[in-house]
Structure formats: C-alpha cells, structure tokens
C-alpha cells in the first residue's frame, strides 16, 4: 500500500520521538526506504530536533565556550584591577618625588615661611619672617596645604618658648616650649596674620612655620 507523502510528513514528529505504534513505524520505515523526498524531510527534521535530544555531556560541551568567555572576562577584570593599582602606586611615588624635589611644587603642596630672631631669656622678641627682600612681623597662612606647625629648627642652640598673637594682638597660645628640632601644632585660620614672640637662651634662632 502506498501511503501519501503528506501523511508520512504529518506523522514525522511522532516517528522521530518514537511515539507511534510499531505498525505505523514499519509503514513509515518502508516508505522512507523508497521515497527520497520524505527521506530528506526526515533528515531535515531530525537535525532541527537535535537541541531537544542533547545528552548532559552535550549540554556541558555547549556551555564550554561561555565558560571560557566568562573565565576570560574574569582574567581581564583582575588584570585591569592589578594594572590600575600599579599605575596609582607609580603615580603616587613619582608625585611624592616631584613634590620633594621641585621647589615650586614644594611651595604649593608644603607651603612654609622662614622666621628668624635674636632671642634672649628676659624679653619676648618678635620673630621676623622673610617676605621677598623685606621682613615682616607676622606670617599669614594662605594655602589649604598649610599644616599649622611652628618648628624650632634642629640647628638652633636649643629649646625655645613661644607665644602666638592674632591680628588683634590677642594671645592665642602662651608659654609653649618647643625643644630643638620639634614642632608645635596650632589651629590654622587661612588669611589671618599671626605674630610669634619667643624667648630662649641667647642666640640666633630659625623658626619655620608650615
Ligand atoms: Zn514520501
């Protein structure tokens, strides 16, 4: 009996999924052995149905390229993190070096003023600050990088005692002893003029404010 191709094609999904009866199956097998058209159709349909019939191993194989891509992305991410850290570190080191070595940058990032005075034990003496060719009786923090430290230079003869006056002449810190080579921290207010008066064993003293 010749079954119409139309019918064979209609039954093809059940045939491929092994859902038709033994008898139907045999009919289809017979037809397929004779009919090239239906054979082609069967082949095509089998290929289309492949994804549904993947074994667990096949599924793993299918996933592999994605796993590889993910691994690649993780490596790329880690590499960029490490590179960024290295670059930041290098910039920091180079920056510190430049700030330390280059005068004008040092002036910007570690602003300071040099003061000097001939001191004695009896009287408060005003510390004079260099300002170009002149000297002034005060210093004036003008930069946010000003740390607010008054340093008794290490080369000085020894300890000094200071007091700090604000613009109105009010004493804001009194009788502060600063050993040689050490500093005293005060609260900086920008663009205000401060006067330092000092006492010490007779001698010439350098006082740095920064
Ligand atoms: Zn056919």
Summary mean pLDDT of the chain: 86
CA of 104 to the centre of ligand 1 (A): 93
CA distance 21 to 59: 30
Structure confidence by residue, pLDDT tens digits, 5-36: 999 999 999 999 889 899 999 999 999 999 99
Go through 91-130 and write b for each residue having 16 or more CB atoms within 10 A of its CB, e for each that does not: eeeeeeeeeeeeeeeeeeeebbbbbbbebeeeeebebbbe
Does 52 score more than 60 pLDDT?
A: no
* Percent with pLDDT over 90 in the chain: 55
Does 47 score more than 60 pLDDT?
A: yes
Structure confidence by residue, pLDDT tens digits, 114-169: 899 999 999 999 999 987 778 899 998 888 888 889 999 988 999 999 999 999 99
pLDDT given for residue 169 in this prediction: 92
CA of 35 to the centre of ligand 1 (A): 5
Structure tokens at 121: 């034990």
CA of 119 to the centre of ligand 1 (A): 119
Find where tokens 């490596």 sit: 75
CA distance 126 to 117: 7
Full-prediction pTM beyond 0.75?
Answer: no
CA of 34 to the centre of ligand 1 (A): 8
């Amino acid at each position: 009996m010749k079954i119409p191709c139309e019918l064979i094609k209609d039954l093809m999904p059940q045939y491929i999924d092994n859902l038709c009866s033994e008898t139907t199956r045999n009919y289809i097998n017979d037809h397929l052995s004779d009919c090239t058209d239906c054979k082609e159709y069967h082949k095509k349909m089998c290929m289309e149905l492949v994804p549904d019939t993947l074994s667990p191993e096949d599924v793993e194989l299918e996933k592999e390229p994605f796993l590889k891509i993910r691994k690649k992305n993780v490596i790329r991410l880690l590499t960029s993190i490490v590179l960024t850290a290295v670059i930041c570190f290098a910039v920091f080191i180079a920056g510190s070096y430049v700030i330390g070595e280059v005068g004008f940058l040092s002036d910007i990032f570690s602003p300071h003023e040099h003061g000097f005075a001939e001191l004695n034990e009896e009287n408060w003496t005003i510390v004079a600050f260099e300002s170009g060719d002149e000297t002034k009786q005060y210093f004036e923090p003008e930069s946010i990088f000003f740390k607010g430290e008054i340093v008794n230079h290490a080369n000085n003869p020894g300890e000094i005692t200071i007091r700090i006056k604000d613009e109105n002449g009010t004493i804001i810190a009194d009788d502060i002893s600063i050993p040689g080579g050490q500093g005293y921290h005060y609260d900086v207010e920008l663009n205000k003029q401060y006067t330092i008066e000092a006492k010490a064993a007779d001698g010439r003293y350098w006082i740095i404010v920064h």
